[in-house]
Amino acid sequence: MQEEIMTFITPDNRRNIICTVKLQARQRIPFLRTYRQTHSLNYSTIRKMLRAIFTHNVLVKISKNSNPEVSFAVMKKKSTYFVNGDKISGANLNKLINFIFVKLNAYKDSDEIDDDIIKFQKIDPLITDTIINKLKYKYYSPSSNRFEETMLNMQIIGSDMVAFELYSDKWVPLDIKKAIQFIRSCNGGDNKFFAIPFQELYRRATGKFLTSSEEKVVDAFLLQNRSSTLVTKRSMELVEKLSSFPTINRVEFYSHGYRDKKEAVAEKGLHIRGKGASWLVTHSHEEGKHVLGRQNVKTQHLVHLKNLVKLGRDGGFAFSIGDKSGRQIYSFNEKSDIYSDDENYYMVGGNICIDQMDNDISLGDQIASRSLLLMSDKDNINKVSTLNGYASSMDLPRNQEVIKDGLLTLRPVKFTEEDGDKLTQQL
């Protein structure tokens, strides 16, 4: 008996583990060995898994890795598939396995899986797709005064009934036929549910009207579940997770550009202590705002002022930082913008252009992708043309930044000649 273990994660940026399965077959399962230890749970991955299984096998047992008794069997005879003995098309098998894997950790025994397989065979695949992926529903929002696109949860509530969630205790019950019509209308179909307001959808389904206060609650709930809101929320969750890395911290950067304002406004983002240098990836957008693009963040080199060399100058002062060979690569004077974390001093380099191919990358994803790149700056210095100019900045002396509760705070300060003298090289 040959075995293979596969761990599946969410296909979004959170990369949370959904389940770990054990595949058992008589003959080998020729998976390609890659650097990946986990696999995104999507139709493409399931298709590749099935192709690998049935290259040399006709039958496979798929079970929960932590409990082999929670299992089901898939067989292929010529071009026909069978799941627990029931005939099923390849496309529906793909959707069924996706559905089972999402719920796998909740199953207590194989009988529960078998019940879901029987239900699945009786339900239209469009319903199953909606349960797994939610339904994109476009509606007019009174509070935002425009059309919004939200994501509706759906669940089966009977043998021929489903319900869509308007908010926690308000569900729209529809029979399967009407539910399919509603789903198709949300996908662009022209029927009696086309462009239906949520107020009318609720009335048709229940025969009751929402009160004005209920309408406000529903509208707030739907806005909270907008597809754009979810994209922003999930991408910023990734940024929050990155700050748990030992070399990445949250940062608040108070630029000199704000020093004449009564209330300073901080750019927020991440501070990355890379293998060779330190970096800031920040933004100044409103908290929670849905931002898509290619260059909505600043990427800057954080220069530590340490082991300075004092330069001879008539009037004022000037200091420089040299590389290992003694070549001066950074210099500053009394007019330069200097920042402090209350203990150390820094300069901030210009904005580095690290571009992305797509135009609709969420703000959190832009921060995350640049941060992961900069964690291994020495390894990537020759792979990104705009980073190549910072090769001489690798391995310069650095202070230990002052991090309080996971946050590095950088504020503009007045830097004096005496401050510089304290940081000069001790020869």
- Do 320 and 176 fall within a single domain? no
234 and 218 within one domain: no
Residues facing 332 on adjacent strands: 319
Indicate the pTM of the whole model.
Answer: 0.48
Same domain flag for 374 and 361: yes
pLDDT at residue number 33: 55
Q: Are 301 and 349 in contact (CB under 8 A)?
A: yes
Q: Are residues 240 and 311 in the same domain?
A: yes
Give the count of domains, the chain.
3
Cβ(384)–Cβ(227) under 8 Å? no
Closest CA to 191 of 179, 202, 199: 179
Q: How far is CA 329 from CA 309, 323, 393, in A?
A: 11, 7, 8
Q: Which residues pair with 347 in a beta bridge?
A: 303
Structural domain contains residue 386: yes
Q: 76 and 43 in one domain?
A: yes
- If asked whether residues 208 and 262 sit together in one domain, one would say no
Please report the pLDDT score of residue 10 as a whole number: 83
162 part of a folded domain: yes
Same structural domain for residues 86 and 187? no
Residue that is last in its domain, among 194, 225, 256: 225
Residue 121 Cα distances to 87, 115, 270, angstroms: 9, 10, 48
Same domain, 61 and 180: no
* Confidence at residue 6, expressed as pLDDT on a 0 to 100 scale: 92
Strand ranges (DSSP E) for 274-326?
A: 278-283, 292-293, 298-304, 309-310, 318-322
Same domain, 239 and 386: yes
Give the residue among 247, 240, 243 at the shortest CA–CA distance from 401: 247
Domain boundary residue, one of 57, 88, 122: 122
Q: What is the pLDDT along the chain (427 residues), one digit of tens a residue?
A: 899 999 998 876 567 789 999 999 999 888 765 445 688 898 889 999 999 999 999 999 999 999 999 999 999 998 899 999 999 999 889 989 998 999 999 999 999 999 889 888 877 878 878 887 789 999 999 888 889 888 898 988 887 899 999 987 788 999 999 999 999 999 988 899 999 999 999 999 999 999 988 898 888 888 777 655 555 566 566 677 777 788 899 899 987 654 444 455 688 889 999 999 999 998 876 554 544 445 668 889 999 998 898 887 777 899 988 877 778 888 998 889 999 999 999 999 877 776 554 455 677 778 887 888 888 888 888 877 778 888 888 989 899 999 998 899 999 998 998 999 899 865 4
Q: What is the pLDDT of residue 369?
A: 79
CB burial of residue 130 (10 Å; 0-12, 13-18, 19+): buried
What SS3 class is residue 79?
A: coil
Strand bridging mode 248-253 / 407-413: parallel
pLDDT at 427: 41
Residue 233 within a domain: yes
Residue 111: inside a domain, yes or no?
A: yes
Nearest CA to 151 out of 235, 230, 233, 237 is that of 230
Cβ burial of 397 (10 Å; 0-12, 13-18, 19+) is exposed
Tokens of 414: 């007045």
According to DSSP, the residues that pair with 280 across neighbouring strands are: 271, 300
CB 407 within 8 A of CB 250: yes
Residues 15 and 35 in one domain: yes
- 427 domain-assigned: no
Q: In what order do the strands lie in the sheet with 67-77?
A: 39-40, 2-9, 17-25, 59-64, 67-77, 80-83, 86-88
> Given phi > 0 = left and psi -120 to 50 = alpha, else beta, which region is 342?
left
Q: Are residues 347 and 415 in the same domain?
A: yes
Are 322 and 261 members of one domain? yes
DSSP string, 22-34: EEEESS-------
Select from 291, 287, 245 the least CA-distant residue to 268.
287
- Residue 45: domain span: 2-122
In Å, what is the CA distance from 87 to each residue of 118, 124, 233, 327? Answer: 11, 15, 41, 74
Q: Write the CB contacts of 10 (distance below 8 Å, at least 6 apart in sequence).
A: 16, 18, 40, 41
What does the block give as tokens for 45?
A: 């991955």
Residue that finishes a domain, picked among 122, 144, 164: 122
Q: Is 70 helix (H, G, I), strand (E, B) or coil?
A: strand
Q: CA–CA distance from 167 to each of 130, 163, 224 (Å)?
A: 17, 12, 10
Phi, psi of 89 (to 5 degrees): -75, 160
